[in-house]
Structure 1
Amino acid sequence: MRTPAAPDRHRHRVLVVEDDDTIGRHLEAGLRGHDYAPTWCRTGAGALAEAARTPYDVLLLDLGLPDMDGLDVARDLRARLPDLLIVVLTARTEDIDVIAGLDAGADDYLVKPFSMTVLLARLRAHLRRQTVAAPVRKPVRLGDLVVDVSARRCALHDVEIPLRAKEFDLLAALAERVGEAVSRETLMAEVWDENWFGPTKTLDVTMAGLRRRLTEAAQAEDSPVRLPEITTLRGHGYRLERPPDPMG
């Protein structure tokens, strides 16, 4: 059973996946009261079916569902809907559980219990980032890697590397300052939002995913490739190192 979303196409459609009646009703009423168009599902299977027939902007996903693990729902919808904003709602407080949610494709997470005020602030931050138009920029070549910010493409030897939205934004922020130390605060402001509220663990998980995808792309090549290296600057942030020139 689900509660139908409002038909207003100008409001952000939010798919709420929560089996707890009290929390589900609270989320549905709070979102509708702040000009979102929510649809409430109580199962993972119901959410997957709903997302297949209706376009959504946001997914609020409880991990402890009665019929399947919420992580599987996140992975499935991330693969099908790369632009969907996924926010995990979880009672699991261990770091490994939070990291697993983000690594499954979630953009953010909130640990229960949380306030509607905090949730709405997070949604505004994410959606504001999605709607800001980026200026046209020239592609940045870093060894054999090309980062085209305007086209949102990252390619190695002309083969595109499939990056998640935040992974690409993070790489772009570093590529535009290649060789410079970039603080965590700067990356959070530019990749997420200048008014970001809450922990920055999502930055570390996104960085780990970016590094893994670049490494996997390099390993798939038949010949050696020159890739930039991302150096961790403890207590500060990160620096993207330009590959050495083969001509010396």
Structure 2
Amino acid sequence: MPVDDDDTRPLTRRERVRRQTVDEIVERALELVDAGGAHSLSLASVGKAMGMTSPALYHYFASREALLDALVVAGYTDLGTAVEGAAHEAADRPAPDRLAAVAHAWRRWALDHPRRYSMLFTGSRRETVDPLESVGPISRSMLALVTTLQEIAPDGGAGGASADGAGDAAAFAASGTGAGGSGPARAAGLDEKLSHWGRSLGAPAGTGHPALRLALSTWYRVHGLVSLEIVGAFDTMGLDGGSLLTAEINSLVSEAGR
């Protein structure tokens, strides 16, 4: 029997019906996002798909933004499940293979759900803070990435950085990138933020800055490639996104092992 999220008591019949209705509203709304994008979504269109009036829909979602929050949570959960599943299926394979499995699972989900992906990462909500409920699913995906890269570069990698990130920080300082302060100060500040990010993910104690840097680098390279692919940027170039992603992963593994 379904139970309430906040305790272990059984749900009443009214609560079960309400939850089922909310789930169906989210499902219908995601179908509308798939058809026309999040920008075209309205409570009226969702109500029509549900066979409900707009005022009736307000009994379940107070506003369009509240409904979009629920769709974002559902999207991140689905993406996170796909990535975690790929990591689990590849658990007995070498770390570079697991990294490839995670990256390609991310790409496959984006290609299967391009408008949901845009809603999550590149849509009109980019200045809106994602609901807290979305943090867990996507964090688990990033944790799979971090732990895999820690295995690939346990002693630093990426130019011989030490496990505490000193070599990597020196390289960052020498690059002269970033704003404000000296290179070493900027590098230390970045490493502090990366450490905080790693802890928020639940990364194992001892996860080094190099693995966290590589995880961040992997994510924005995969995300950038996928974002270009779903808008057709590679079509006129005759390039295959899967092959490009494989090349990126091979490059990342090489960087991690240097």
Name the structure where strand makes up a greater proportion of residues. 1
Q: TM-score range by the shorter chain?
A: under 0.3
Q: Which has the higher contact order (CA 8 A, sep 6+)?
A: 2
TM-score, scaled to structure 1: 0.28
Name the structure where helix makes up a greater proportion of residues. 2
Rg comparison, structure with higher value: 2
